[in-house]
A and B are shown apart, each in its own frame.
Chain A
Amino acid sequence: DTEVTQTPKHLVMGMTNKKSLKCEQHMGHRAMYWYKQKAKKPPELMFVYSYEKLSINESVPSRFSPECPNSSLLNLHLHALQPEDSALYLCASSPTPGQGVRNSPLHFGNGTRLTVT
């Protein structure tokens, strides 16, 4: 069982819909991440939260809006998506963010499979 829980597992939405992806971890990690993964490709970093503050935005379109309400929760709000946004969205966490501690692996959830119609 994964220690990072993502809901829902599957999501189908139209291009005019608004939906949210949720991620939760109870490992005490203070860094949380959103990745996008297309089939047979490596994960692509979207956002990084460090101590509940957005620290990295990899030039993601504004139709994706992240939120970190507390140290255990991470949301990704979706609005006016395009069919090319269909992908597996992975949440991850790690024990300690920032420089000097680069040996912490990422702990991934099982992802949300998103289909935009």
Chain B
Amino acid sequence: AQSVTQLGSHVSVSEGALVLLRCNYSSSVPPYLFWYVQYPNQGLQLLLKYTSAATLVKGINGFEAEFKKSETSFHLTKPSAHMSDAAEYFCAVSGTNAGKSTFGDGTTLTVKP
């Protein structure tokens, strides 16, 4: 069984500020973890994934995430927010089938000018 908790349903940052979106997971097997982004009126797009090769994972658009087993966390960060980063972000953990991925409730990121 697996679950994902995203802390903070809304995060607001100023343009140029650090972005930190929190994700904690629970999994009975070694987890495969994903961050997806969803822009308005679009589907979900993969930002990055953790598959045990490296604990610090770099993704698209300057985002990265660090897997911390001891904290069961996979937080998403970006050093400097851009207006175009405003979107909904979902953390997900993979089940035995990618289609059974468990999604967190999502975090809405707002970027203020």
Contact = CB atoms under 8 A, between A and B. Distances in A.
B109 to A, nearest CB: 13
A11 to B, nearest CB: 14
A41 B107 CA distance: 10
B51 interface: yes
B98 A109 contact: no
A45 to B, nearest CB: 6
Contacts of A45: 99-100
Interface in A1-52: 2, 4, 6, 31, 33, 40-43, 45, 48, 50
Contact of B43 (A50, A97, A101, A111): A111
Nearest to B51: A103
A106 B97 contact: no
Interface residues of A, number: 32
Contact of A94 (B43, B99, B104): B99
Nearest to B48: A105
Contacts of B34: 105
Interface in A75-117: 90, 92, 94, 97-99, 101-111, 113
Contacts of A102: 32, 94-98
A90 B43 contact: yes
B44 A99 contact: no
Interface string B30-48: 0010101000011111100
Contacts of B85: none
B41 A103 contact: no
Given A90-B43, A111-B42, A42 B97 contact: no
Contact of B98 (A2, A6, A40, A105): A105
B3 interface: no
B98 A31 contact: yes
Interface in B34-86: 34, 36, 41-46, 49, 51
B104 A103 contact: no
A48 B104 CA distance: 20
Contacts of A56: 97, 99-100
* Closest 9 pairs between A and B when the two form their complex, measured CB to CB: A108-B43, A42-B103, A103-B51, A48-B99, A102-B94, A94-B98, A108-B44, A105-B46, A103-B32
